[in-house]
Amino acid sequence: MEQSFGDFIVSNLTQFWEFTGFYNATFPHFVMLAVGLFFIWLAIKKNFEPMLLVPIGFGILIGNIPFNTEAGLEIGIYEQGSVLNILYNGVSAGWYPPLIFLGIGAMTDFSALIANPKLMLIGAAAQFGIFGAYMVALAIGFAPDQAGAIAIIGGADGPTAIFLSSKLAPNLMGAIAVSAYSYMALVPVIQPPIMRLLTTKNERLIKMKPARAVSQNEKIIFPIVGLLLTCFVVPTGLPLLGMLFFGNLLRECGVTTRLAKTASNALTDIVTILLGMTVGASTQATTFLTKETIFIFFLGFMAFIIASTSGVLFVKLFNLFLRKDQKINPLIGNAGVSAVPMSARISNNLGLEYDPSNYLLMHAMGPNVAGVIGSAVAAGVLLGFLA
Amino acid sequence: MATFHCSEMKKSLVILIITLFAFSANVFAQSRSGLKINEVMVINENNAIDDFGQRHAWIELFNSTHAPLEISSVYITDDKNNPIKYPVPLGDVNTRIPKRQHVIFWADGCPSRGTFHLNFTLKPGQENWIGVYDADGITLIDEVTIPATLCADQSYARSIDGKGEWEIRNDVGDKYITPSSNNVIRDVNNKIETFAKQDPHGFSMALMAMGVVFSALLVLCLSFLLISKIGSAVARRNKRESQGVTAEEVKGNLADSGEEIAAIVMALHEHLDAHDQESTILTINKVRRSYSPWSSKIYGMRRLPK
């Protein structure tokens, strides 16, 4: 039977209405849209890691526009063949994080670490945040692979967290990534009270000897030796460590300036945009708003606290074995987490608060970049044990 | 000029040789040595059926690598004197075996039925030797001798896919016959199960993992302490040789920190009133306003009729 003109119009408009966001919206969608707007507000108004929170926040908005998921329109991030799904492949297959690491390597000056190699141990100690959180996650009831993926948040390293969770617990990746980046943005809020609590006034006033000048040759040798030694111990960290040290060699060798510039600027910017946006978009209300997500945020918070605490306490312990003129200011212990350079800046600011002539930035950069290496090694260890 | 060309050519030649060497190593690494005979059934009475609805002896090949493996142009044979008996044809997309996956070849003596139908049959009640040769027809990739004692509906299979000991399977207990699927069927990740059982609180993981992280960074730390000592010794020796000063004086000079060097440089800069060389070229770029019909006033004006 042929439809009348009016029926035709009405049925089409009804069908169109069923495709709209207004028809398909549920309460969780609005919650997630509010979270996205909150992230954007934090980034723009409070200047909390805007390079990360703006793409993630806007990605959350993109990912939580309600639509008819059964219509097969190929628009959702989890629908195979959709544009967002193609862009998301860099996250799900884990190839964005190594590219970010290439950029980090090309941006990072390892001089502080090379000048004072013992600072590397602080970077190692702070990784206890990861394994402390692993224990808490097991106690809450997560399986070992999920616990490992969540615990890596304690490394304070977004790309590493995404890389590891894409391998160990892909279903939790969205929550883990958002949690890792959120707490990285909140490092200035989380770390100072812990640092004040765990140090005495005298310890905060310790002035460290200025770092020696590092030769060009040492800077060139560092990424090569670093790659060989760390990857021989933990080959599972190769994608991250390989790219990190490769980027650093591009920077330091002096003959690939153009490549280093591209890796540290254009390439990193492009990947950061894609990574942030797709991670945000992966937090669809239906998969994101679960009990697990709340636990993950709690565990991420725990991991950051444990990591900062273990870094500071390790320096205090280390000082017991050092000569008086070689003592390390425990305020740089927090920088063992790899939130570069945010946590080193916090060490510096806190140091200046107690002694306006005590600049700790360069000293703190040592454990800070060691933290980057340490968290990549820790990710490799977890991958080796649990994958 | 000729000397320059000669040295450049030598340099290029060295780079070429190194590159070729590297690529040849790579080619070797990606050879088809990862292709394994994984399971064989000689007398098939109640087992798998081919695409023609018939039962025949079958040979399962397994790609033991973690990358797709193209097996066209390899040879499968039951005759040591004729290693190129059945060439796997080119041009069939199904001859690309995904990582850690299998394909079945039917030993029915009817190669006209398709790529996966061999031109020989296996002999019941006799030892059957099966070999897989690479495309050169010389390199033996894998071989197996099937015992004559193999009964009907029994298979001869590796205990672990691609590498385990060969064993007779009769579909009883855990001796599954598994044409075109894994010989070891797992429903859980053993590593995770073991960790969940042996280390429910995570202490062992924390201990082991922190040990590895500390070891890796400690080795790196010690290496750089060593490298910086060697570097300092070399720098001291060079300075001693070039300036003719004593070892003690050199040691004192080398201890200068970056801050001290910066202070000296600043003092020299002030003292010499030195400035950076500047090009003194002033560049004036023309400011272009990009044209767009959207912003053009002419389109907003009423035109007079002609």
A-chain CB neighbours of B200 within 8 Å are 138
**Which of B133, B155, B187 is where one domain is finished?**
B187
For the cut 50, the answer to whether the pLDDT of residue A154 exceeds it is yes
Q: Are residues B205 and B99 part of one domain?
A: no
Structure confidence at residue A171 as a pLDDT band (50, 70, 90): confident
- Helix or strand or coil: residue B68? coil
Contact state of A381 with B227 under an 8 Å Cβ cutoff: no
A-chain CB neighbours of B196 within 8 Å are 143-144
- The pTM score is 0.77
What's the rounded mean pLDDT across residues B4-15?
Answer: 64
Contact state of B231 with A217 under an 8 Å Cβ cutoff: yes
Closest residue in B to A146 (Cα–Cα) = B192
Contact state of B206 with A131 under an 8 Å Cβ cutoff: yes
B-chain CB neighbours of A120 within 8 Å are 217-218, 220-221
Closest residue in B to A114 (Cα–Cα) = B224
Comparing B102 with A73, which gets the higher pLDDT? Answer: B102
Residue A269 and residue B122: Cα distance in Å, rounded? Answer: 61
A-chain CB neighbours of B231 within 8 Å are 215, 217-218
Average per-residue pLDDT for chain A: 89
Closest residue in B to A134 (Cα–Cα) = B202
Residue A100 and residue B282: Cα distance in Å, rounded? Answer: 38
For the cut 90, the answer to whether the pLDDT of residue A174 exceeds it is no
pLDDT for res B29: 42
- The answer to whether A315 and A122 have CB atoms below 8 angstroms apart is yes
Q: How far is CA A135 from the centre of its chain?
A: 20
Mutation to test the B interface, candidates A113, A119, A135, A232, most B Cβ within 10 Å: A135
Q: Are residues B229 and B119 part of one domain?
A: no
Positive or negative CA dihedral for A172, A178, A184, A188? Answer: negative
- Helix or strand or coil: residue B38? strand
pLDDT for res A278: 92
Contact state of A215 with B210 under an 8 Å Cβ cutoff: no
Shortest Cα–Cα distance, A276 to chain B (Å): 28
A-chain CB neighbours of B199 within 8 Å are 144
pLDDT for res A253: 93
- A315-327 burial string, b = 16+ CB within 10 Å, else e? beebbeeeeeeeb
For the cut 70, the answer to whether the pLDDT of residue A157 exceeds it is yes
Mutation to test the A interface, candidates B210, B217, B230, most A Cβ within 10 Å: B217
Contact state of A211 with B215 under an 8 Å Cβ cutoff: no
For the cut 70, the answer to whether the pLDDT of residue B8 exceeds it is no
For residue B277, tell me if it sits in a domain: no
Residue A99 and residue A242: Cα distance in Å, rounded? Answer: 10
Q: Are residues B167 and B56 part of one domain?
A: yes
pLDDT, tens only, A187-235: 888 999 999 999 999 999 999 888 777 888 889 999 999 999 989 988 8
For the cut 70, the answer to whether the pLDDT of residue B133 exceeds it is yes
What's the rounded mean pLDDT across residues B291-306?
Answer: 64
Closest partner residue to B212 (CB to CB) among A147, A234, A386 is A234
Total domain count for chain B? 2
Q: Which CATH number fits the domain that encloses residue B172?
A: 2.60.40.1260
Mutation to test the B interface, candidates A113, A134, A231, A357, most B Cβ within 10 Å: A134
Contact state of A213 with B189 under an 8 Å Cβ cutoff: no
Residue B31 burial (CB count, 10 A): 13
For residue B123, tell me if it sits in a domain: yes
Q: Are residues B135 and B174 part of one domain?
A: yes
CA dihedral A154, A157, A158, A163 (to 10 degrees): -90
Provide, rounded to the nearest whole percent, the portion of chain A with pLDDT above 90.
50
For residue B303, tell me if it sits in a domain: no
Shortest Cα–Cα distance, A117 to chain B (Å): 5
What's the rounded mean pLDDT across residues A1-13?
Answer: 85
A274's enclosing H/E stretch is helix A268-281
Q: Are residues B225 and B247 part of one domain?
A: yes
For the cut 50, the answer to whether the pLDDT of residue A101 exceeds it is yes
Q: Would you mind telling me the total number of residues written for chain A in this entry?
A: 387
Which residue is associated with the tokens 């980027």? A247
pLDDT for res B236: 78
Residue A42 burial (CB count, 10 A): 19
Q: Are residues B179 and B209 part of one domain?
A: no
Structure confidence at residue B278 as a pLDDT band (50, 70, 90): low
Mutation to test the A interface, candidates B198, B220, B234, most A Cβ within 10 Å: B220
Residue A201 and residue A72: Cα distance in Å, rounded? Answer: 63
Closest partner residue to A385 (CB to CB) among B191, B200, B214 is B191
Residue A333 and residue A310: Cα distance in Å, rounded? Answer: 8
Comparing B94 with B186, which gets the higher pLDDT? Answer: B94
A-chain CB neighbours of B202 within 8 Å are 131, 134-135, 137-138, 144, 147
Comparing A106 with B243, which gets the higher pLDDT? Answer: A106
Q: Are residues B178 and B46 part of one domain?
A: yes
pLDDT, tens only, A115-133: 888 888 999 999 999 999 9
Q: Are residues B209 and B173 part of one domain?
A: no
**Which of B163, B187, B211 is where one domain is finished?**
B187
Strand B86-87's sheet: what is its strand order?
Answer: B86-87, B75-77, B128-133, B140-146
pLDDT for res B247: 64
For residue B291, tell me if it sits in a domain: no
Residue A92 and residue A217: Cα distance in Å, rounded? Answer: 38
Residue A180 and residue A170: Cα distance in Å, rounded? Answer: 15
B-chain CB neighbours of A217 within 8 Å are 231
What's the rounded mean pLDDT across residues A56-83?
Answer: 86
Closest by CA position to A282, among listed A181, A175, A152, A179: A175
Question: A385: exposed, middle or buried (C-beta count within 10 Å: 0-12, 13-18, 19+)?
Answer: buried
Closest partner residue to A386 (CB to CB) among B192, B225, B261 is B192
Q: What is the DSSP letter of A310?
A: H
Residue A321 and residue A316: Cα distance in Å, rounded? Answer: 10
For the cut 60, the answer to whether the pLDDT of residue B23 exceeds it is no
The parent domain of residue B85 ranges over: 32-187
Residue A256 and residue A218: Cα distance in Å, rounded? Answer: 17
pLDDT for res B9: 63
- The answer to whether B83 and B138 have CB atoms below 8 angstroms apart is yes
Which tokens in the block code for residue A111? 């001089």
- The answer to whether B55 and B45 have CB atoms below 8 angstroms apart is yes
What's the rounded mean pLDDT across residues B51-71?
Answer: 92
Closest partner residue to B217 (CB to CB) among A130, A217, A370 is A370
Q: Are residues B211 and B165 part of one domain?
A: no
Shortest Cα–Cα distance, B239 to chain A (Å): 15
Contact state of B219 with A233 under an 8 Å Cβ cutoff: yes
Q: Are residues B86 and B203 part of one domain?
A: no
For residue B158, tell me if it sits in a domain: yes
Closest residue in A to B223 (Cα–Cα) = A225
pLDDT, tens only, B153-177: 999 999 888 887 899 998 887 788 8
A-chain CB neighbours of B201 within 8 Å are 135, 138-139
For chain A, counts of helices (H) and of strands (E): 22, 0
For residue B289, tell me if it sits in a domain: no
Q: Are residues B193 and B175 part of one domain?
A: no
Residue B244 and residue A235: Cα distance in Å, rounded? Answer: 48
Shortest Cα–Cα distance, A150 to chain B (Å): 14
A-chain CB neighbours of B215 within 8 Å are 233
B-chain CB neighbours of A118 within 8 Å are 221, 225
Positive or negative CA dihedral for A141, A142, A144, A148? Answer: negative
Q: Is the peptide bond before A341 cis (omega within 30 degrees of 0)?
A: yes
Shortest Cα–Cα distance, B140 to chain A (Å): 31
For the cut 70, the answer to whether the pLDDT of residue B301 exceeds it is no
pLDDT for res B2: 47
What's the rounded mean pLDDT across residues A155-167?
Answer: 87
Shortest Cα–Cα distance, A353 to chain B (Å): 22
**Which of B187, B220, B236 is where one domain is finished?**
B187
Could you tell me which residues come within 8 angstroms of residue A96 by beta carbon, excluding any fewer than 6 positions away? A90, A159, A162, A271, A274, A275
For the cut 50, the answer to whether the pLDDT of residue B28 exceeds it is no
Which residue is associated with the tokens 């000991």? B165
Q: Are residues B166 and B74 part of one domain?
A: yes
pLDDT for res B27: 45
pLDDT for res B228: 82
Closest partner residue to B217 (CB to CB) among A114, A123, A212 is A123
- The answer to whether A119 and A363 have CB atoms below 8 angstroms apart is yes
Alpha helices in chain B (DSSP H): 2-29, 190-198, 203-243, 247-254, 258-272
pLDDT for res B1: 45
Residue B17 and residue A220: Cα distance in Å, rounded? Answer: 25
Closest residue in A to B201 (Cα–Cα) = A135
Contact state of A131 with B209 under an 8 Å Cβ cutoff: yes
For residue B118, tell me if it sits in a domain: yes
pLDDT, tens only, A327-349: 999 999 999 988 877 888 899 99
Provide, rounded to the nearest whole percent, the portion of chain A with pLDDT above 70.
100
Q: What would you measure as the largest C-alpha separation in chain A, in angstroms?
A: 96
> How high is the ipTM of this complex?
0.85
- The answer to whether A314 and A126 have CB atoms below 8 angstroms apart is yes
Which tokens in the block code for residue B226? 């060593």
For residue B290, tell me if it sits in a domain: no
Contact state of B222 with A117 under an 8 Å Cβ cutoff: yes
Question: For chain B, which residues lie within 8 Å of any Cβ of chain A, measuring from their own Cβ?
Answer: 189, 191-192, 195-196, 199-203, 205-206, 208-210, 212-225, 227-228, 231, 235, 255-261
The residue type at B44: N
